Amino acid sequence: MNKVLILAFVLLTVNVMANQKQPFNESANWAKQTAKNMLEPNQIPLDVNDYCQDATCRAKVINPDETSLNDGNMETKAAQAFAASDLAQGIRKNTNKKRPDFRHDESLRYALLGQENAFEISHGQSNKYVNCERDTQCLFDDVEKTCHAPTHTPVPCYKTPRFTPEIIAPSYQCAAGQLTGHRCLRYRNECRYSSRDRWIVSHQCQSATRNYGLWNGNMVRAPFFKGRLRTTRSTPCERGGATASFTSYDICRQVAYYTPATPVCPAGYGLSGNQCVKNHVDWRVECTLIKACQPLSQRCIEGAASRMINGVATYLPCWKYEVRHECDLPDNCGQYAECKEDKRECSLKQNGVCIEEKVTHTCTKKTCRTMTLNCGEQSFCLDGECYDPLPTLNRHFDQSAAALAALGEAAKGLGDPPNIFSGEPMQCSKKAASIANCCRDSGWGTDAGLVTCNEEEKALIRAKDKGLTLYVGEYCAEKILGACLRKKRSYCAYDSRLGKIIQEQGAINQLGKTLGSAESPTCPALTPEELGQINFDRIDFSEFYPELHSRIHLPDPNVIKQRIQNSLSGEAN
């Protein structure tokens, strides 16, 4: 029976599976056919015109505007469309926007100050960032600041001469001869000797002597004249014993000729050609500077010499000067004296020289805000570091205790009449010709010197050593013939340092009271009214502090601790 049932179940299962396989195959074939049809546009039942509302739209479907695009203008058109689209610009703005930088946000920085200085705030400690007394937080930023400062470097310029000629006509002179215009007229002898040119002197036996000249064969006389002897001959006469003679000479005459006259110039002028020239010199500086630059000094750089200027020799002790200028420019960098200097660069030049610099500084800018810090409140942290009270000394204890001690001392002087902080007048002597000085400020000196000091002077020295005296003055106690032999000094001595301090800083410095004169010290006491007028906050009791500390007896902390432990253990029992 069981075998029959199992066989029937198997047959039924096979039949069911066969029936399910057929629909699956049909569905798979439909899916393949559909996918194939979707890959072929002509099989897709889609008409773009169905999405157009009018004929203009359908016309653009057939001939869209983008048909005019090509590789050359496509990028330009795209950029224009991108720039004109609000949507595209919004996308770009938000895409290119950087992430916010909270490091420079002021509120965040103040919050970080509280975090970084939490220990100081919780312990009531102030620093440059947090101030517990003023309830302020402060930020410090480096800020770049620029200013301008002069260099004070001298600026060289050059001064050279400029010449203006003065021209006049010269006068003329002749060393010999007669001045005629610009020439010298002179004469010289012209002599000839020939058969046609000579001077003849003849003496005949029966006739008179003949004296004449021949010039070019013509007989001439003055202004011709005989010159050098040339020939002579003589013959005796037949009768009378006389002699006939014939003598010939050079025949000469004076001939005029001209030579150039010598031009002469007046003093201070030089001759240049046919002109007298005088050079007038003035100096010019070969640079143009701003008004802030003024001449400071000059030095010669081309020394003395004579040079030909406008045709005449001209002498100068210096031909070129270097003129140094100093430029007085404002300096506005003093306001950044506490800042760090970073760099300098030239901001103004004159004649190639830097006269002003631009200076860059890094300055610290302090920005504070007021807020409630709740400094010093007891807090509790997991690590126990938020509150760790440490004992600190009260800085005002000495001042307060000294003032109270002063009032206590003053109370001892109350009476009728009151005698508050009164002093005792005391004097000492100084002798001019003695080794004894009973007015020394401290120490006892030698025994030999103390022999002459009286008991009051010895007591005064002891009071000085303890700091209980105030100096009043000095006067001459003994004179002989106008010379002081013995001087005395006056002091006020007090029972305590407090009395001296109150008298000196309160009565004298604040109330203007005096201790009397050197000859008559009074050392007056204070009245209760005067004591009430003294400002004890302005009195320095530091001189009294060592004495105050020596009187204070603080309990031993270990003893106190032991007492507490003993007390607690007794209660527990």
Q: In this model, does residue 494 exceed pLDDT 60?
A: yes
Amino acid letter, 218: N
Q: Name the most confidently modeled range: 29-33, 294-298, 418-422.
A: 294-298
Q: In this model, does residue 550 exceed pLDDT 90?
A: no
Minimal CA–CA distance to 524: which of 408, 442, 443, 421?
421
- Work out the end-to-end distance of the chain between its first and last CA atoms, rounded to an integer number of angstroms: 97
Task: Tell me how far CA of residue 407 lies from CA of 44, 291, 404, 501, 531, in angstroms.
Answer: 116, 72, 5, 12, 9
d(CA 514, CA 533): 16
Whether the model pTM is above 0.85: no
Share of the chain above pLDDT 70, in %: 77
Q: In this model, does residue 540 exceed pLDDT 60?
A: yes
Task: Tell me how far CA of residue 272 lies from CA of 161, 264, 344, in angstroms.
Answer: 20, 11, 58
Task: Tell me how far CA of residue 339 lies from CA of 148, 336, 360, in angstroms.
Answer: 14, 5, 10
DSSP letters along 206-255, please?
A: SS--EEEEEETTEEE-TT-EEEEEEEEEEEE-SSTT-EEEEEEEEEEEEE
pLDDT in tens, 409-443: 666 666 667 778 888 999 998 876 666 678 877 65
pLDDT at 41: 53
Angle of helix 86-96 relative to helix 74-84, nearest 10 degrees, comes to: 90
Tokens 């010598």, residue located: 262
pLDDT in tens, 48-105: 777 787 888 878 777 887 777 777 777 887 888 888 888 887 787 777 666 666 667 7
HSE (side-chain half, CA atoms, 13 Å) at 417 = 8
Q: Using pLDDT thresholds of 50, 70 and 90, give the confidence band for residue 560.
A: low
CB 159 within 8 A of CB 286: yes
Helix (H) or strand (E) holding 122: helix 118-122
HSE (side-chain half, CA atoms, 13 Å) at 457 = 18
Q: In 1-85, where does DSSP find H-type helix?
A: 2-38, 55-62, 74-84
Q: Count Cβ atoms within 10 A of the Cβ of residue 539 and give its class: 0-12 exposed, 13-18 middle, 19 or more buried.
A: buried
Q: 144-169 burial by CB neighbour count: b if 16+ within 10 A, else e?
A: eeebebbbeebbebbbebebeeeeee
Q: In 397-481, where does DSSP find H-type helix?
A: 397-412, 447-450, 455-465
How does DSSP classify residue 337? T
Q: Using pLDDT thresholds of 50, 70 and 90, give the confidence band for residue 329.
A: very high
CB 270 within 8 A of CB 278: yes
The residue with greater pLDDT, 462 or 562, is 462
565: left (phi over 0), alpha (psi -120 to 50) or beta: alpha
Mean pLDDT calculated for residue range 152-158: 93
CB 216 within 8 A of CB 288: no
331: left (phi over 0), alpha (psi -120 to 50) or beta: beta
Long-range contacts at 41-48 (CB < 8 A, ≥ 24 apart): none
Describe the strand order of the beta sheet including 130-131 as a list of residue ranges: 130-131, 136-150, 353-370, 340-350
Strands (E), 497-559: none
Q: Using pLDDT thresholds of 50, 70 and 90, give the confidence band for residue 544.
A: confident
Q: In this model, does residue 21 exceed pLDDT 60?
A: no
Amino acid letter, 415: G
- What rounded mean pLDDT belongs to the chain? 80
φ, ψ for residue 339 (rounded to 5)? -90, 165
Q: How many Cβ atoms sit within 10 Å of the Cβ of residue 227?
A: 19
CB 325 within 8 A of CB 294: yes
pLDDT at 563: 72
pLDDT at 25: 66
pLDDT at 10: 36
